[in-house]
Amino acid sequence: MVIQYWRIRDRYYRLVGTKCDSCGAEFFPPVYKCRKCGSEKLSDKEMPKEGKVLTYTKLYEPLPGFEAQAPFFLAVIELANGARVLGQVVDSPDDSVRTGAKVQSTVRRMRVDGESGQIIYGYKFIVAT
């Protein structure tokens, strides 16, 4: 069973990152020390659901566990608050995935744990229409 995943599942379902209580900078994935001012005073913060594609690639040789999804798009997304996220772009026509495209986060099945059969869900992105 993938217990560690269930302990932090909100971070994957709701894109929960951190916000610096000192300078207001926001980060995803969460950090333990602000990269902007060095403060350790941080709070959990749900990230915006909207963003834009900064750069992307189409993977034909998938990472382990993603073989059934190949080929697929992997993109660096800049969220509306400036935080950057690496994520898969799904359920979108190939020609709509491009630099500058507006995207929205969604929750999709990521994989199935082989031992327990537990289905693991997480965030992905779709091109906004």
| Prediction pTM value | 0.81
* CA 28 centroid distance within chain: 8
Q: What is the mean pLDDT of residues 72-101?
A: 94
Classify residue 23: in a domain, yes or no.
no
Q: Is residue 91 part of a domain?
A: yes
- Is the pLDDT higher at 51 or at 6? 51
User: Quick one: pLDDT band at residue 8, thresholds 50, 70, 90?
Assistant: low
Q: Give me the residues paired with residue 43 across strands.
A: 19
* Residue 52 included in any domain: yes
Residue whose pair of structure tokens reads 């659901």 in the numeric block: 49
* CA dihedral angle for residue 87, residue 93, residue 94, residue 98, rounded to 10 degrees: -60
Element (H, E) at 7: helix 3-7
Domain range spanning residue 71? 3-14+48-127
Residue 25 has pLDDT above 60, yes or no: yes
Residue 77 inside a domain? The answer is: yes
CATH number of residue 80's parent domain: 2.40.50.840
In sign, the C-alpha dihedral spanning 4, 28, 81, 73 is negative
Res 1 pLDDT > 50: no
Q: Is residue 54 part of a domain?
A: yes
Q: How far apart are CA 82 and CA 91, in angstroms?
A: 24
Q: Is residue 62 part of a domain?
A: yes
Pull the structure tokens for residue 113. Answer: 């744990």
- The overall average pLDDT reported for the chain is 87
Q: Averaged over 78-95, what is the pLDDT?
A: 93
Residue 36 lies in a domain: no
- Do 72 and 90 meet the contact criterion of CB atoms below 8 Å apart? yes
Residue with tokens 């959990």: 44
**Does the residue 67 lie in any domain?**
yes
Give the count of domains, the chain.
1
- pLDDT value of residue 112: 74
